[in-house]
Each structure stands twice: as structure tokens, then as C-alpha cells.
Structure 1
Amino acid sequence: MEKLFSRSSRIARELKKNIAIIIQYFLKDPRFKIIITVSDVILSKDLSYAQVFISFLEIKHNLSIKKLLILLNKSSGYIRKLLCKKMKLRIIPNIVFYYDDSFNKGNKISLLLNKIITKEKII
């Protein structure tokens, strides 16, 4: 019988939780004073690389998404160092941050569907 959850999915869940905590409480850079949400973590098969997908609730006008991703990727070594203290793994994966715009796309689709529904009610 196959296991319901693999080891990599359990580690990905723990990484997601711990990275979110580290970003929220341990990054002291004033440019990170926005709400950053870790939406997903995808691990490689050998658990040495992690793709971390993040989204921002509200972005300040002077910072773009690209600049925030560059800042987060530059601080990935520090985040990895803090993960070493929090998690008992033999290998802590290298972290690369990516922007997840699925919330924005879903919101646009929802607005379009609402417009279609209201037009059908009028007709």
C-alpha cells in the first residue's frame, strides 16, 4: 500500500510554515514591512532545492515585485541559516523565491464571472 503523504510533502509543509515565520518575525529589513504570504513550497526529489512561491498583500509604491524578489533571494542564505536552527534535517535545501500571482488571476476571473452573471440576470 502506498503512503498517503510522502516525506518530501511533509518536509515541504514544514518548510512553508517555518519560512513564513522567519519572513514575518526575523527579517528586520524595513522594506519587508508588507504582508508576505508563502503560498507553496516545491522540493526537488533529492530535497536539495526548494522553490518557494510567495504573494504580497499590498505593495508600496516605491518597491516593485521584482525588487522584493531580488531582496528575498539575496536574504535566502540567512533564511536557510535560521532554518538550520529550527529544523532537524541533514540537508537544508537551497531556497529560490518566485512570485505567485494565482490570487490576482483568480480574482480577475471571479470579477469577469460576476459581470457575466449580472448581464444574464438583466437579459
Structure 2
Amino acid sequence: MAREFSRTRRVGQQLQRELAMIIQREIRDERLGMVTVNEVEVSRDMGYAKVFVTFLDDNPEAVKRQMEALLELTPQIRMLTASRVKMRVMPELRFTYDKSLVEGIRMASLVSQARSQDEAKADQFGRDDDEEQQ
């Protein structure tokens, strides 16, 4: 019987929970601001973990500063995570900015803007005329 989740996925989910707690509660660095850990992808050999993060401030300059701070704090975060997660070898953490949330919000606003423009045009050119003809 096939397993529903692979070991790497389970380890990734556990690392995601622990990293989110550590960054939120134990790392005291004002440069970081509000950080969200979206996902963690662990390599098959458990040697590397790609950590996808987003920030409350999505300004490109602020994101660059926050990523630099996060990269500087990576050894400390890895040490704290290793003390909480029972693994023989703690994966090397590689933080990556996740643009998908920002892009999703942008796309949703574009869709809602297009719908409102379509409704305005329909009202302007007579939606009632179409209903009378049918």
C-alpha cells in the first residue's frame, strides 16, 4: 500500500511549523519584521531544506533588507531548529522569497477590476435591452 505522504513531505511540514515558531517567538531582530513561512521543501537526502517566506511589507527594498537579515540569522535559526526537531542531521536551510502570494493578490485585484469595468459597461450600454430581447 502506497503511503499518503512521503517522509520528505512530513519532515518539511514539521520544519515549517518549527521554523515559523522560532522566527516569530525566539528571533529578536527588528530588521525582520513580520515573516511568514509558507512552505518548506526538503531534498530527498534530507541535506537541504528550501524555506519559502513572505513578508508583511512587500516593497522590493524592504524585502531585500529582510532577506539579507534572514540569511545572516540562518545559522542561529538552524541551531534553534535542530534543538527542537529530532533528526540525525539537520538540513541546511536555504531561505527563498515567495512571490506567489503577492502575485495572487495582484491577479485577484486585476480580475475584480476587470469585472467591475465589465459591469459598468453593461450598465452603460443597457443591460435592460438584452433582457427585453430574450
TM-score between the two structures when normalised by the length of structure 1: 0.90
Bigger-Rg structure (1/2): 2
Q: Which amino acid aligns with 1:98?
A: T
Where does residue 15 of structure 2 map in the other structure?
15
In the other structure, the counterpart of 2:128 is none
In structure 1, which of residues 61, 64, 73 is the aligned counterpart of residue 62 of structure 2?
64
Secondary structure, aligned partner of 2:31: helix
Query: What does 1:63-102 correspond to in 2, within 5 Å?
Result: 64-102=62-100
CA distance in 2, matches of 1:58, 1:105: 14
Deviations, residues 11-45 of structure 1 (Å, cap 9, x unaligned): 0001000001111111112222x211000111111
1:120 aligns with 2:127: no
- Structure 1 unaligned runs (5+)? none
CA deviation profile, 1:52-82 (whole Å, cap 9, x unmatched): 010011368xx62112112111211111111
Equivalent AA in structure 2 for residue 16 of structure 1: Q
- The answer for the alignment partner of 1:26 in structure 2 is 26
Runs of 4+ in 1 over 6 A off after TM superposition: none
Q: 1:107 aligns with which of 101, 105, 108?
A: 105
Rounded to whole Å, the distance in 2 between the matches of 1:121 and 1:67 is 42
What RMSD, in angstroms, separates the aligned Cα atoms of the two structures?
1.7
Question: Identity of aligned pairs, percent?
Answer: 31
Mapped partners of 1:65, 1:58: distance in 2: 7
Distance 2:58 2:44 in 1: 34
1:118 & 1:58 partners in 2: Cα distance? 27
Unmatched 5+ stretches in structure 2 = 123-134
- Tell me the matched-pair count: 121
